[in-house]
């Protein structure tokens, strides 16, 4: 009998798991409440134009190449990618500017011009150490079933104490940066890597330095936007027979008579979808309600990662030139995170990230800037994840937008936003999109050296239930969520063999049910 898997959620983890399982011979059904794939890789419409409304950065391309090798293809054969020459542009008060480049030597020269030769040497040490941390963790932690501290130590090598200490687990990212940089602007720049997993650089471990190496290894833009990646992965999964049902929310994960094992899912249309296995690709905070357990008390809110206020819309920027990715830093970085994590309030002086979605990375003038017409801009400020307990009325949204525009102006960018033409998402709306989160976009915050070990692992609390997504191991981010789906699928298959069931016949890349370029629309 063909074995079936129901996947709850068509985010990156669900898409990855679907491809792994379908190419291994399972019959897979994916159900999602949204009207299309991607999860947080969503699209929004503003001013009559479409925008990426979620993640805007693609890194760790090897994750997707490895995933698609199961299908006889590679990421660059399926979508059009362009590697960014400029990783990001950064501005401080009065237009002080520093670009980070894909080439380390070019970044070192830029830092020397910006802050002096000593800081450039500090950057080289930082780059070397971040690469070392990444290499230590890539196979032992990132692309592996979730270890505990002891098993991680064993994987790295208990006989290599210098390697374990190189991870800097007991230092905060901010304090570690003080050993590399004396210029506070550079500490602020590289401390921002903590926010990539929704955390404060003052509370998260220095291990997050590895993000610097991830970026140096390649930052990519996707033709058609990041949402196009999700669309293409869905189409590839469909080529291998995966069925997708959108606009249908899973209301319960069903148990068998023993109440210890799954037997499928029920949707809000009162439709039962039988399945031998279930992969839950949603935030772990919402899982208890789906399996009939009491939800945890809101005390868990103190462990949540950052939320955000995201404003997308057409605008005509003036003043300092934008790159594809541009960051405008606050004058009070510590105060920004104290407001969010300490007081649960929007920061009065936020750091603002702007993605100019019509601009190739590294060009001062392109897209709308060449034509004199408004271009597509995505503006983000960090916010507390309190969207389940605090509503954000228009007056508060207006204050946040004004704070963003003030910071942009102080750092040299004049940006007049037509608020009637904006798509705005605040923490309460993110909580509606991703139930149980309060609007947290990265699962739990990576605060303290144990935080990475406290994310849920792939095996769920019921037999036959597995977890994927950014709130579980190995963590948030597009490639990490994809890895979580792969890990969940591989654990499902390993458990299946362990319990004496034969493995289904794998489907090779030459046996797609449809061609890679076929027009395949999701099942409704």
pTM here is 0.90
As a whole number of angstroms, the longest Cα–Cα distance in the chain is 69
> Which residue shows structure tokens 């979580």?
484
| pLDDT above 90 for 500 | no
Cis peptide bond upstream of 399, omega within 30: no
What is the distance between the alpha carbons of residues 167 and 175, in angstroms, rounded to a whole number? 14
Confidence band, pLDDT 50/70/90 cuts, at residue 157: very low
Q: Of 239, 294, 292, 247, whose CA–CA distance to 267 is shortest?
A: 247
Q: Which two tokens stand for residue 513?
A: 């049910």
What per-residue confidence (pLDDT) applies to 513? 44
Backbone dihedral angles phi then psi of residue 50, each to the nearest 5 degrees: -95, 145
Q: Of 426, 386, 202, 203, whose CA–CA distance to 300 is shortest?
A: 386
Mean pLDDT, residues 410-414? 97
CB atoms within 10 A of CB 420: 8
In a 3-state reduction of DSSP, which class is residue 14? helix
Go through 2-29 and write b for each residue having 16 or more CB atoms within 10 A of its CB, e for each that does not.
Answer: ebbbbbbbbbbbbbbbbbbbbbbbbbbb
With residue 29 as reference, give the H or E element that holds it.
strand 27-32
What is the distance between the alpha carbons of residues 170 and 429, in angstroms, rounded to a whole number? 35
* Average pLDDT across the chain, whole number: 88
In a 3-state reduction of DSSP, which class is residue 389? coil
8 A C-beta contact, residue 72 and residue 508: yes
Domain residue ranges in the chain: 4-50+225-300+443-511, 106-214, 306-433
What is the distance between the alpha carbons of residues 159 and 137, in angstroms, rounded to a whole number? 16
Q: Of 501, 487, 91, 125, whose CA–CA distance to 326 is shortest?
A: 91
What is the distance between the alpha carbons of residues 369 and 351, in angstroms, rounded to a whole number? 23
| pLDDT above 70 for 168 | no
In percent, the amount of the chain with pLDDT more than 70 equals 84
CATH label, 4-50+225-300+443-511, candidates 3.50.50.60, 3.90.640.10, 3.30.230.70, 1.20.1440.230: 3.50.50.60
8 A C-beta contact, residue 237 and residue 279: no
Parallel/antiparallel/unpaired status of strands 86-92 and 43-46: unpaired
Confidence band, pLDDT 50/70/90 cuts, at residue 159: very low
Parallel/antiparallel/unpaired status of strands 4-8 and 27-32: parallel
Parallel/antiparallel/unpaired status of strands 4-8 and 277-281: parallel
More confident: 327 or 446: 327
Parallel/antiparallel/unpaired status of strands 307-315 and 318-319: unpaired
Torsion sign (Cα): 517, 12, 388, 307: negative
Q: What is the DSSP string of 35-73?
A: SSSBTTS-EEEETTEEEE-S---B--HHHHHHHHHTTT-
| pLDDT above 80 for 453 | no
pLDDT tens digits, 259-268? 889 999 999 9
What per-residue confidence (pLDDT) applies to 473? 85
Beta-strand ranges (E) seen in 195-236 are 220-222
CA atoms within 13 A on the CB side of 317: 32
Confidence band, pLDDT 50/70/90 cuts, at residue 368: very low
- Torsion, Cα 196 211 148 160, to 10 degrees, reads -160
What is the distance between the alpha carbons of residues 440 and 387, in angstroms, rounded to a whole number? 8
pLDDT tens digits, 95-132? 999 999 999 999 999 999 999 999 999 999 999 999 98
Go through 330-339 and write b for each residue having 16 or more CB atoms within 10 A of its CB, e for each that does not.
Answer: beebeebbeb
Q: Please give the distance of CA 418 from its chain centroid, rounded to a whole number.
A: 28
């Amino acid at each position: 009998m063909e074995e079936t898997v129901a996947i709850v959620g068509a985010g990156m983890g669900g898409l990855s798991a679907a491809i792994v399982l379908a190419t291994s011979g399972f019959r897979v059904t994916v159900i999602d409440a949204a009207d299309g794939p991607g999860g947080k890789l969503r699209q929004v419409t503003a001013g009559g134009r479409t925008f990426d409304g979620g993640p805007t950065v693609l890194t760790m391309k090897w994750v997707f190449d490895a995933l698609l090798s199961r299908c006889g293809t590679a990421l660059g054969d399926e979508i059009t990618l362009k590697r960014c020459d400029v990783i990001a542009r950064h501005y401080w008060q009065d237009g002080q500017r520093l670009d980070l480049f894909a080439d380390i030597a070019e970044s070192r020269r830029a830092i020397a011009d910006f802050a002096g030769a000593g800081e450039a040497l500090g950057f080289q040490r930082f780059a070397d150490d971040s690469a070392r941390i990444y290499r230590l963790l890539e196979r032992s932690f990132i692309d592996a079933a979730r270890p505990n501290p002891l098993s991680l130590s064993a994987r790295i090598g208990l006989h290599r104490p210098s390697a374990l200490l190189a991870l800097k687990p007991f230092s905060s990212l901010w304090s570690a940066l003080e050993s590399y940089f004396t210029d506070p602007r550079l500490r602020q720049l590289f401390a921002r890597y903590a926010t990539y997993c929704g955390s404060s650089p003052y509370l998260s471990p220095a291990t997050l330095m590895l993000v610097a190496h991830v970026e140096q290894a390649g930052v990519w833009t996707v033709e058609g936007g990041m949402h196009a990646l999700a669309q293409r992965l869905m189409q590839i999964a469909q080529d291998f027979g995966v069925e997708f049902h959108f606009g249908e929310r899973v209301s319960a994960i069903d148990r068998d008579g023993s109440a210890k094992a799954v037997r499928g899912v029920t949707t809000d249309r009162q439709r039962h979808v039988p399945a031998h296995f279930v992969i839950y690709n949603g935030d772990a905070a919402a899982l208890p309600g789906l399996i009939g357990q009491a939800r945890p008390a809101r005390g868990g809110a103190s462990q949540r990662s950052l939320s955000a206020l995201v404003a997308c819309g057409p605008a005509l920027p003036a003043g300092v030139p934008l790159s594809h990715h541009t960051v405008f830093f606050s004058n009070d970085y510590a105060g920004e995170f104290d407001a969010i994590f300490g007081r649960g309030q929007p920061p009065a002086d936020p750091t603002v990230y702007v993605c100019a979605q019509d601009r190739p990375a590294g060009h001062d003038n392109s897209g709308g800037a060449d034509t004199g017409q408004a271009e597509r801009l995505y503006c983000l400020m960090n916010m507390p994840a309190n969207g389940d307990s605090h509503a954000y009325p228009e007056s508060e949204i207006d204050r946040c937008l004004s704070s963003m525009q003030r910071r942009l102006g102080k750092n040299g960018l004049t940006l007049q936003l037509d608020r009637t033409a904006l798509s705005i998402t605040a923490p309460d709306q993110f909580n509606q999109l991703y139930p149980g989160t309060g609007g947290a976009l990265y699962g739990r915050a990576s605060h303290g050296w144990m935080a990475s070990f406290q994310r849920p692992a792939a095996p769920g609390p019921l037999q036959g239930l597995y977890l994927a997504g950014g709130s579980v191991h190995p963590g948030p981010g597009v490639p990490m969520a994809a890895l979580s789906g792969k890990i969940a699928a591989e654990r499902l298959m390993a458990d299946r063999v362990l319990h004496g069931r034969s493995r289904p016949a794998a489907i090779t890349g030459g046996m797609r049910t449809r061609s890679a370029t076929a027009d395949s629309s999701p099942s409704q």
